[in-house]
Structure 1
């Protein structure tokens, strides 16, 4: 039998308590309150349930797991296990793991219609890291050998996936301050998350509760606080609707053993990047540049383009103090970043200069680096230089976390380059594109 998938009426009668559940809502609904999130120590936060408001009545119903997700109102929340596993599944019997999700019905429909879902995890051929103490950061991951750029380091299904914005709908019966409104939202959201938490297997519950919680004094409940502290943004479940806030999800992934919560420290010049693969419903962590033996793995938890001061403010709610090289020399680093990100590419020389500056700052994970690689590749193609063009095309293909790199594969050899529509379209040695 499977979580969320039953094959017979007899099985349904016996096992419905563990099938997909829905938080059904109907009637005239008040608008959801989207408020700025507090953090740190907030006075009188979380002492008790706020008074003076009412929530729209919600019920939790057991659903027929064989019914298509399209059969339900797209705005309904679904508690669902993905991918479906046996009711008595353990991590020993199903080592790829599974995820407890709280999804809107249209997001679940998108997931189940994804070609190849559910695919097994793709694992690296050999383990390339170890767990060890990290200076001032607790535990960290360190490479045990040289890791090539583009190499898969690990893959993992998240423990939970939940909406990034609070979905509880509240009608306030008196004047509430913004702070009071948010405290009410936090309280109600925690009740919603408790149902999800109760669906976790014992090993996952232990691992989840062992994670850091930097929201213990702002009114967040223990489950919501851990999710706010440890989740990564997940855009793969967007259905193309107009409400981008509604379609954003957050995933909590351990990125190591279940028994040991590990922090891959933040960096403005990270050596790894993660992408979410929808068919396998998993995060994949890649080396974005060569990582030397003994080097600590680092990751960018916030956008890399803002200056060091802005970045530190972004990390403050999580209790992080970034100590990477770029943050230790912010004036020089910020200046180089501003120049490299604003550079225009009209010639091969421009493109190579931009790539060099981005590499100097350790910004290979940024989209700007991929765009620069593509520009240099196409400039060499237009100039009829198949050797250099194929070299940079291979660098593009060696970025599996980027979307659309598969289209570059035919142009990774000199022979393939000559079939490109831009081949030798700019061979005027006096022209701007011929400048090297």
Structure 2
């Protein structure tokens, strides 16, 4: 789910928290037998033109070990995912499990806690989501003549119906996992399936915006979210020590440490933009049933100014010396904003200043940390595709051609590429027919 500030952050329409106690399976009433689920099969088109599909949609021993996700997507989104270079690879898991899930202090429900010291940049969790679906459910015919409240109620009803279609495809085991997750939207008219999704959804970034989302006037984000079983247990903090990204090649949710985490420390993520002031952060979190009491929120406007200054201030200059550079870095780290892109930029600048001053070991240490944190913030990069050898013609397969088309966010450019390919196909067809004719004569 993508926020207005970062595609790797929590989608504000799908924020999750663990302040609500997980509800039992029996407390939810849905419109079909929980034990009935659809067999895994090719995509099915809904009445609204969406696609219900199981991903990854082909089987290997390695892929089956991580399970599958039931998805509700537009045809564009499915193509964008499955045409990703390197799709679909086995999930790369951490060497060992270094967390446990237990009750967090106070009334914050379950949380994730480190069972060993964890270094900055380390992968904590990688999991296949239970579901991936759009965060916008608009009926094909809008009841513009109805009062807003009735329109909203109809939209929520439609959303739940769409969610039931996704849920019905899940195995009984995954249905049980899904229904065990927290639901902080039980009193706003959301159905149980939609409420769980809104509470626990994480943004899915494919590098481009779904054209249907753009038509709705949404300025950022792809409009899709993923719900995972374990990842739903990360609590919020405005001083997060963990960062989330979505890995398209492995179709998995990944969580990395952005600073050292001590054994026994709770691992947290930020549900809101860390550039927001405390009043706005609290307002965004209010519908989810908890009040953040971290030191950044307790500090009020003064802390807001300090954090904003850390994010926006000019990087230290070489002429100001090593002592000043190290002081700026230390001050930044005190704000606990290591999950922000500014942090690796600052690490690299301080490394450069130290290297110029002859402090090679210190510079190497900072550069290595910057690389690890950059991976945590931006996600692991897909492997580079092999470059063609020699000067012979480059042969593209259908998947690569589709990836080229979908990489263009401008519909005009997309159509231009399609037109060129169609013209080339026509030329090849004519050429083939001429060759056949020559052979006959």
What TM-score comes out, normalization by structure 1 length?
A: 0.69
- Structure 2 CA distance, aligned partners of 1:370 and 1:323? 27
**Aligned-residue CA RMSD in angstroms?**
3.0
Partner of 2:139: 168
Q: Take 1:199 and 1:126, find their aligned partners in 2: how far apart are those partners?
A: 31
| Cα distance change on mapping 1:406 and 1:156 into 2, 3 Å | closer
Alpha carbons 2:339, 2:377 under 8 Å: kept: no
CA contact (8 A) 1:110 1:237 kept: no
Q: Secondary structure at the match of 2:260?
A: coil
The structure richer in helix per residue is 2
Q: Could you tell me which of 139, 146, 150 is aligned with 2:121?
A: 150
- Alignment gaps of 5+ in structure 1: 1-14, 24-57, 60-75, 257-261, 408-436
Shift in CA distance, 288/100, structure 1 to aligned 2, threshold 3 Å:
same
User: Which SS does the other structure have where 1:94 is aligned?
Assistant: helix
What is the SS of the residue equivalent to 1:162?
strand
Does 2:331 align with 1:366? Answer: no
What is the aligned residue count?
334
Q: CA 1:179–1:377 in 2, change beyond 3 Å: closer, same or farther?
A: farther
Taking a change above 3 Å as real, the CA distance of residues 97 and 329 of structure 1, as seen in their structure-2 partners, is same
User: Does structure 2 retain, via aligned residues, the 8 Å contact 1:85–1:98?
Assistant: no
| Residue of structure 1 equivalent to 2:277 | 307
Counterpart secondary structure, 2:160? helix
Provide the rounded CA distance (Å) in 2 between the counterparts of 1:284 and 1:192.
26
Higher relative contact order (CA 8 A, sep 6+): 2
3-state DSSP class of the match of 1:398? helix
Q: 1:369 to 1:17 in 2, by over 3 A?
A: closer
Question: Is residue 197 of structure 1 aligned with residue 220 of structure 2?
Answer: no
Partners of 1:330 and 1:133 lie apart in 2 by: 28
Offset of residue 77 of structure 1: 1.7
Picking from 128, 141, 147, the partner of 1:177 is 147
Partner SS for 2:245 = strand
SS class of match (1:172):
coil
Task: Summarize the Cα distance change of 1:297–1:16 in structure 2 as closer, same or farther, 3 Å threshold.
Answer: closer
- Residue pair 1:96, 1:156 contacting (<8 A) in 2 also: yes
| Cα distance, 1:405–1:299 mapped onto 2, change above 3 Å | closer
2:290 is matched with 320
Distance 1:404 1:101, change over 3 A: closer
SS in structure 1 of the partner of residue 233 of structure 2 = coil
Q: How far did 1:380 drift?
A: 5.4
In structure 1, distance between residues paired with 2:379 and 2:175: 36
Measure how far apart 1:377 and its partner are.
Answer: 4.1
Paired with 1:159 and 1:301, the residues of 2 have a C-alpha distance of 20
Q: How far apart, CA to CA, are the structure 2 residues paired with 1:342 and 1:267?
A: 21
> In structure 2, the residue corresponding to 1:254 is in which secondary structure?
coil
TM-score in terms of structure 2 length: 0.69
Unaligned runs of 5+ in 2: 1-37, 383-441
Among 391, 394, 401, the residue aligned to 2:368: 394
